[in-house]
Structure 1
Amino acid sequence: MKAELTAIIETAKEGGYWAICPEIPGANGQGETIEEAKESLKMAIQLILEDRLADIRTGATRRRY
């Protein structure tokens, strides 16, 4: 299954770039180049989704605020 998500990439004041995905709370990345920031964000999204899937499989619940 494939999905399209939004990546917002901005220049960091201290140098490099930061990236966020507004559709997935907590998904963010950073890097010295735009490509590094994208890859870091992709990894963060993957880890978050894997964690949520594991919760579903084990029946764990999380509080949403």
Structure 2
Amino acid sequence: MIIRAVIEWDEESQTYSATCPELNFVSSFGDTKDDAIANLKDAIQLLLKPIPDEFLEGNSSKEVIELAL
């Protein structure tokens, strides 16, 4: 998967920020561009990771469905 990210230098915090507008503006930061990009990749992987089944199980009257987009 190839996605676009915006890398910016934040003068106030003296760090780089990395934001992905295509994925609900998930973002991260780092002391270097490479750190910010690596941290953003981690954040994206967590965002896209499926929810574990134990969080979907329970005694409530909820229905779990799968959607193909």
Fold equivalence (TM over 0.5): yes
Deviations 1:1-37, CA, capped at 9 Å, x for gaps: xx11001000012202001001111410100000000
| More contact order relative to length (CA 8 Å, sep ≥ 6) | 1
The structure with more helix, counted as a fraction of residues:
1
The structure with more strand, counted as a fraction of residues:
2
State the TM-score, normalizing by the size of structure 1.
0.73
Structure 1 residue corresponding to 2:10, chosen from 5, 9, 12: 12
Question: Post-superposition, which runs of at least 4 consecutive aligned residues in structure 1 deviate over 2 A?
Answer: none
Larger Rg: 2
Q: Percent identity?
A: 33
User: Residue 26 and residue 7 in structure 1: after superposition, are their counterparts in 2 closer, same or farther (change >3 A)?
Assistant: closer
User: In angstroms, what is the RMSD of aligned CA positions?
Assistant: 1.8
Query: 1:11 and 1:39 mapped to 2: Cα distance?
Result: 16
User: Residue 7 and residue 26 in structure 1: after superposition, are their counterparts in 2 closer, same or farther (change >3 A)?
Assistant: closer
State the TM-score, normalizing by the size of structure 2.
0.69
State how many pairs are aligned.
54
